Amino acid sequence: MKHTKISVAVIGASGYTGLELLKILITHPYFDITYVATSEGGVMLSELHPSLKGVFECEVHKASASEVAAECELAFLALPHKTAMGFVKELIALDVKVVDLSADYRLKLEAYEKHYVPHIDKANLEHAVYGLPELNQYPLCNYQ
């Protein structure tokens, strides 16, 4: 059975989490990495991560929600907490599905604000699903 690949963005590709995410997505059978970004952009991916030279190469863009929306169905965010929530808000408004790897949508509002900062995207926080399979035991996607 042939699967249609989902076009994805990786925002926050310069850090450890971004690198590990890229390594997973590069060989994933259902995802096609079509947009990679950092806060600055303007480099090739192998300049950020020499270990990917000859494995996967692409231009790294300066992160832009409108560019992600134009090119991708799904965005993975490997951004620091407090940074991700602003970007998620923009992406969701542009109808892009988001997987956020920060703490910004992981905790209930009271717990988040107690340990971090005031949350700027309370409306989307209410609808976020913490994708820990052991906690939420139902299929998160339907790609078979």
Q: What is the CATH number of the domain that holds 14?
A: 3.40.50.720
Q: For residue 105, count other CB atoms closer than 10 A to its CB.
A: 25
Mention every residue, 6+ apart, whose C-beta is less than 8 A from residue 12: 18, 37, 38, 63, 77, 78, 79, 80
The reported pLDDT for the residue numbered 127 is 85
Write down the pLDDT at residue 100. Answer: 93
In angstroms, the Cα distances linking 53 to 7, 86, 92 are 22, 31, 32
Quote the pLDDT of residue 1.
Answer: 62
The answer to the question of residue 110 being in a domain is yes
Residue 69 lies in a domain: yes
In a domain, 134, yes or no: no
The two structure tokens encoding residue 33:
């990495």
pLDDT of residue 62: 97
pLDDT in tens, the chain (144 residues): 677 899 999 999 999 999 999 999 999 999 999 999 999 999 999 999 999 999 999 999 999 999 999 999 999 999 998 899 999 999 999 999 999 999 898 888 999 899 999 999 999 888 888 776 666 555 555 443
In-domain check, residue 12: yes
Domain count, the chain: 1
Residue corresponding to tokens 């590709």: 13
Q: Is residue 137 in a domain?
A: no
* Domain coverage including residue 114: 6-125
The pLDDT assigned to 81 comes to 86
Does 11 map to a domain?
yes
The whole-model pTM stands at 0.86
Domain membership flag for residue 91: yes
- Residue 64 included in any domain: yes
